[in-house]
Amino acid sequence: MSTFGQYFKVTTYGESHCRSVGCIVDGVPPGMELTEDDIQPQMTRRRPGQSALTTPRNEMDLVEIQSGTEFGVTLGTPIAMIVRNKDQRPHDYGNKTMDLYPRPSHADWTYLEKYGVKASSGGGRSSARETIGRVAASAIAEKYLKLSYGIEIVAFVSSVGSVHMFPPTATHPTPSTNPAFLSLIDSISREKVDEFVPVRCPDKAASEKMAEYIADFRDRQDSIGGTVTCVIRNVPSGLGEPCFDKMEALLAHAMLSIPATKGFEIGSGFGGCEVPGSTHNDPFILAPEVPPLETGATKNGIPRPKLTTKTNNSGGIQGGITNGAPIYFRVAFKPPATIGQAQQTSTYDGDAEGVLEAKGRHDPCVVPRAVPIVEAMAALAVVDALMAQQSRQMTRNLLPPLKQTIPAAKSALETEANEKHGVNGVAK
C-alpha cells in the first residue's frame, strides 16, 4: 500500500495532476526542533530542472507542515505535509495519441489493469512526483538520525550506461575489495557530491565522461540507465529483524519501491559472488574509539560496538543485522521509458498497432535526480529499524542482568585445553 515503516510510519498520497502531493508521518519522536527549513533542502535537491541534462519543468515544491509541531517543536503526533501541484495540466504531455496507446514500459497499461480506471496522467502514482512525500518524510527521519547517533547518508552516481566510476575488473569484480572505493565511502559528503551537479558522480573524469555520454543519448532522443551507490555511516549495531526483516531486505524493499529501479546489491553484491570466501570473509578487529557526539545524545543510546571488521565486504550487515561498520549498497535504474523516438506499439484494446512519439523534452537519464530519493528511502528504512531495536534495547535494559552472556576468554581457553587433553573424558 502507500505506507512504509512500522515505527516511523510514512503514508504518502498524490498523483501528478491533483491538488497536492504529500504525506502523513506517524511515530515522529516528540520534543525535536523541526520547521519547514529542515525539510526544504532535500525537496529542492530532488527537484527536476537543475541542468540541461535533466527535465526542464520548474516546480517549486514548497512544503507546508500541517500538524504535529507547535512553536517549532514536534509534539509526537502525526506530522502531515503537503506540497501543492501548482501546475495542473492533465494533457501536458503533448499529444492525444497517448490516450489511445499505453506507453511502452510505462505504468499506463498496468495501472489500468489493476484499477480498471485510466487516469489522465497514465500511471498517476508511478510518477516521479509521488516521491515528494517520501523525501519530505525522510528529512524528518534524517534529522533524528543525525541528532541521535550522528548518522550520515550520502548517495552518488556510480555509473551511467557503461561508464562506471569503479568498473569491475578481474582483481576487483566488486568495488568492495578496492581500497579506493572503501576510502571514498568513508569520506564522501553531500556537499562534495553536489559539486558534481548535474551528474552527481564525485569523480571529475568519470563525471565528465558521463555528462557527455548522457548528452549523446539526449541528442539521439534516446535514454540510458545507471546506478546510484549509497553509504550510511555511524549506524548502531543490532539493527535489522530476523528473519524476514533483515536490514538488507528492508533496504532492498525501500530501494525497489523507487520508480524505475531494476536492482539492488548490498556490500560486495553480485560481484561478491565471484570472490572466494577466504577473501570475502571480514575478520573482526578491535573498533577504534569514537569521540562522543556534540549533542551528548549517545550516552543513553545503543553503545558503539567493541569490534569492527578489517574489511567490509558485508556492507555493514551480517546475518541481516548491522555490525556498526558503514552500510553501503548500489541501486540500478533503467533507461527512462519516455523517449522522443517513434515507437511501434498497440492500442489499449489491442485492435490496432501504431506509432507513438513523445513530444517535448524528456529526461535522458534519471540517476542524478534519483540521488536524494535513494538517500530518502535509506533514511526511512534505517530509522524504522533503529526504533525497533531501541524498543528491544530498552525492554531488555529493565531485566535483571544475566550471569554470563559470552564466554570469558580465559576460562573458555582453559576448558578447551582440558578438552584437548581429554581431561573431561571427551574423545577428541
- State which of positions 8-37 bind a second copy (CB under 8 A): 9, 11-15, 17-24, 26-27, 29-32
**42, 376 Cβ separation under 8 angstroms:** yes
The distance of closest approach from Cβ of residue 143 to a second copy in the complex, given in angstroms and rounded to an integer, is: 10
Judged by CB under 8 A, the chain residues 68 through 97 that form the site for a second copy are: 68-71, 73-80, 82, 90, 95-97
Length of the chain: 428
Nearer to a second copy among residue 154 and residue 380 (C-beta): 380
Residue with cell 560496538: 305
Cα 325 to Cα 266: distance, rounded to the nearest angstrom = 13
> Where in 230-249 is the site for a second copy (CB under 8 A)?
237-246, 248-249
Residue 106: active-site member: yes
Q: 375-396 burial by CB neighbour count: b if 16+ within 10 A, else e? A: bbbbbbbbbbbbbbbbeeeeee
Pick from 40, 197, 305, 361: which binds a second copy (CB under 8 A)?
305
Task: Tell me if 325 contacts a second copy by CB under 8 A.
Answer: no
| Residues 355-384, mask of contacts with a second copy (x by CB under 8 A) | ------------------------------
Q: Given 26, 108, 203, 363, which residue is catalytic?
A: 363
Burial class of residue 13 (count of CB atoms within 10 Å of its CB; 0-12, 13-18, 19+) = middle
Q: Residue 311: in which H helix or E strand, if any?
A: none
Kindly tell me which residue out of 47, 124, 196, 214 binds a second copy, with binding defined by CB under 8 A: 124
Cis peptide before 336 (omega within 30 of 0): no
The closest of 297, 252, 2 to 144, measured between CA atoms, is 297
Sign of CA dihedral 138, 144, 145, 150: positive
Tell me the pairing of strands 353-356 and 307-309: unpaired
Listed ranges 35-43, 54-62, 194-202, 396-404: which one lies at the site for a second copy (CB under 8 A): 396-404
Whole-number Å distance between alpha carbons of 226 and 24: 31
Site for a second copy in 150-189 (CB under 8 A): 159, 161-162, 173
Closer of 50 and 389 to a second copy (Cβ): 389
Least CB distance from residue 186 to a second copy, whole Å?
20
Q: Which stretch binds a second copy (CB under 8 A): 53-61, 117-125, 183-191, 197-205?
A: 117-125
Reference 73, options 33, 28, 38, 131; nearest CA is 33
Q: Which residues contact 230 (CB under 8 A, 6 or more apart)?
A: 153, 154, 155, 156, 328, 329, 330, 331, 374, 375, 378
Which backbone phi and psi does 292 adopt, to 5 degrees? -65, 155
Residue 383: closest CA among 29, 23, 21: 29
The catalytically annotated residue of 106, 194, 222, 253 is: 106
Binder of a second copy out of 36, 38, 59, 222 (CB under 8 A): 222
* Nearest partner of 334 among 363, 314, 354, judged by Cα: 363
Q: Kindly indicate which of the ranges 35-43, 186-194, 204-212, 309-317 contains the residues binding a second copy, using the contact rule CB under 8 A.
A: 309-317
Q: Does 67 bind a second copy (CB under 8 A)?
A: yes
Interatomic CA distance for residues 37 and 64, integer angstroms? 10
Among 186, 290, 415, 422, binds a second copy (CB under 8 A): 415
**120/192 with CB nearer a second copy:** 120
Binding mask 260-299 for a second copy (x = CB under 8 A): -xxxxxxxxxx-xxxxxxx-xxxxxxxx-------xxxx-
Interface of this chain with a second copy, residues 182 to 201, rule: CB under 8 A: none
Q: Quote the cell numbers at residue 23.
A: 504525506
Nearest to a second copy of 191, 405 (CB atom): 405
Query: Minimum CB separation from a second copy for residue 115, in Å?
Result: 4
Rounded Cα distance between 322 and 413, Å, is 28
Nearer to a second copy, 202 or 267 (CB): 267
For a second copy, which is the closer residue by CB, 42 or 85? 85
Name the residue nearer to a second copy (CB basis): 191 or 421: 421
Is 172 considered catalytic here?
no
Q: Amino acid identity of 30?
A: P
Which residues inside 46-65 make contact with a second copy, applying CB under 8 A? 64-65
**CB 197 to a second copy: min, Å:** 20
The residues annotated as belonging to the active site are 17, 106, 363
